[in-house]
Chains A and B, each alone.
Chain A
Amino acid sequence: MNNHLALQATQLPRSAGIGASWMQFWFTPADSRPLAMVRVLSASVALLLWWSYLADLQAWLGPEGVLPTEMVVQWRLNGGFSLFDFARSAVAVWVLFGITGACFLLLLCGLCTSLVALLAAIFWASLMLAAPMLAGPADDCLAVLLWCLAIGPAGHYFSIDRWLSLRGGQPIVMPSWRATIALGLLQVHASVISGAMLLAQLKGDVWWDGSAAWWLAVRSESPLMDVRGALAQSDYLMNALTHSITLFEILFAIGLWITPLRPIVAKAGLLAWPLIGILAGEPLWGLTMAIFAVPSCSSRSASA
């Protein structure tokens, strides 16, 4: 199939070649197994992030909480609304929050996956908009993952849906163009996020003079990975760690688009993103970035 498209591309004008590449990238049916894996991992991280709201839910979003709806509406300078805006009682807040958690649980299990993935994305966005000042990078990246899952058939594998279809006598799962679009969007976002991070970092001197790793390591009172002693002893180690992060982000943002490099940088991302997340004090963000890399570990036909 790919050879056929490549032949077409050489015979047609350049504009047609771009069109063929576009069609190949976005519409050639792909295996939905990677998307199912993304679903399982995303739902797991989503449950952790959801859990982090649990103890303080009423203190933040309750009727007597410190973040009343009227204040949050004023805070959102770009507009937007949240389902939580309509929750006027503690019970209503609990109900909406409970639905959000239930969606994540069902998404993890893969039951009614297409509907649940959409609901999970809607309710997560609502929770973020209910208290935008509490949202961190992991929350942002999770929102993107959930919308991508809502587009593709994320329940075709590793799911109760799959088990039910097997019981119903439908053992064959066809490659899907919806999976291709979802996986393509994941790849685009992985590259864009890494690139945007890189641009933001390179505006700071510490990423040029090689001291950023030190400032990351000392930022937290109780770091998950204490490398302060080692960094204090060696300038070179500190510089190497800083420049390694920058170099990895460049490779990740660009390498995802170079077919031979794609699986390599993606597999490196599975290890590197969590490590960067731990060093930066944002371990769940590191995990969500690693999830973006998961589909690119395989050679997807649509982008090969």
Chain B
Amino acid sequence: MAIFSTPPATPGVAPVLATVSPDPQGRPSELVRAVITAALAIYLVGLVLTVMSNSGSGSSALLRTIKGRLFSPWMVPMWLDLGFDYRLTYGQPEDADHIIEVRPTLGSRVGKNFPPEATNASGTRPQEIRLPGAMTGERKARWRRLARAIAMTADDSDRESLLPTSIGAGLFDDLGTTDVSLRVLRRPLPERPQTAASSSLELAQVYAARVRRVGGKEAKVQLIKSEAAGAVAPLLQPVGDK
């Protein structure tokens, strides 16, 4: 049973259509059809290219170049340069929920402009801001995407420092300081036997950096990324130094 039914052709309709359109079947003129056909063909090629080149597996230089030069200039502004590669999950740690935690680095005074949702579990005035905190729905999902974006671009040389720097600096006033520590935490996904104790799994740190304002009149925001211990070269002891 169809939810929508196309109305049957009315005997009196056809002559009216014939006078309105040059095509007896109510189609646009041949020239218009040709133009639309060309536009549709171009768009469909662009659609295929965006799907092929926006997948998580990367794309070939050829496709990237064609899409970048011919299609991205008009598809990106329309928010149509999309890969639709919604994997939903791979069961990997990065598929878990992420949160952002920002706190004053040096224990400086705390400001008063916290969003009420950004309080800690005890409900008291926080010494830190955790986002999304107690938010719900799509609003919460957007903050989590922001947190995940920081973690996912931690190894991207073009974007690595952009988000943590701007988020840290954007919260200077809220925390009443110009020196904050920003962390992205991830809630581990419980394996099946762990289901009963899943709520007790501790948050894992996936990104940490210090963001501070330095300099005098021409102050700049500086990001100092905390490297994992294994990624830092050990201090070499000078030969002969006991």
Contact = CB atoms under 8 A, between A and B. Distances in A.
B51 interface: yes
B116 to A, nearest CB: 10
A26 B36 contact: yes
Interface string B42-55: 00100100010001
Interface stretch (A10-18, A92-100, A108-116, A125-133): A125-133
A1 B163 contact: no
B206 interface: no
B166 interface: yes
A129 B79 CA distance: 7
Contacts of B167: 66
Interface residues of A, number: 96
Contacts of A124: 79
Interface stretch (B20-28, B212-220, B231-239): B20-28
Contacts of B7: 31, 175
Given A129-B79, A215-B89, A301 B6 contact: yes
B72 A196 contact: no
B47 A297 contact: no
Interface stretch (B103-111, B135-143, B222-230): B135-143
Contacts of A199: 55, 85
Contacts of B5: 298
B80 A147 contact: yes
A51 B195 CA distance: 34
Nearest to B68: A78
A76 B68 CA distance: 13
Contacts of A245: 88
A105 interface: no
B138 A48 contact: yes
A51 B5 CA distance: 34
Contact of A27 (B17, B33, B51, B89): B33
A91 interface: no
A148 B64 CA distance: 26
Dominant secondary structure at the A interface: helix
Nearest to B44: A188
A196 B158 CA distance: 27
A75 B72 CA distance: 15
B83 A196 contact: yes
Nearest to B99: A221
B95 A219 contact: yes
B37 interface: yes
Given A197-B84, A206-B90, A133 B146 contact: yes
A298 B87 contact: no
> Which of A53, A55, A175, A276 is most buried by chain B, counting CB atoms within 10 A of its CB?
A175
A121 B78 CA distance: 8
Contacts of B139: 52-53, 55-56
23 contacts: A56-B115, A66-B166, A67-B170, A71-B162, A80-B76, A128-B79, A129-B77, A174-B13, A192-B47, A193-B84, A196-B86, A197-B86, A203-B90, A204-B89, A204-B91, A205-B91, A206-B89, A206-B91, A212-B91, A218-B195, A219-B89, A219-B97, A267-B3
Given A52-B139, A280-B89, 19 more contacts: A27-B28, A33-B4, A49-B138, A55-B115, A74-B162, A78-B72, A143-B82, A147-B78, A181-B36, A192-B51, A197-B87, A200-B56, A205-B91, A216-B89, A220-B97, A263-B2, A280-B88, A297-B3, A298-B4
Interface of B: 2-7, 9, 13, 16-17, 20, 25-28, 33, 36-37, 40, 44, 47, 51, 55-57, 68, 72-73, 76-91, 95-97, 115, 137-139, 141-143, 145-146, 149, 158-159, 162-163, 165-167, 169-171, 173, 187, 189-190, 192, 195, 198
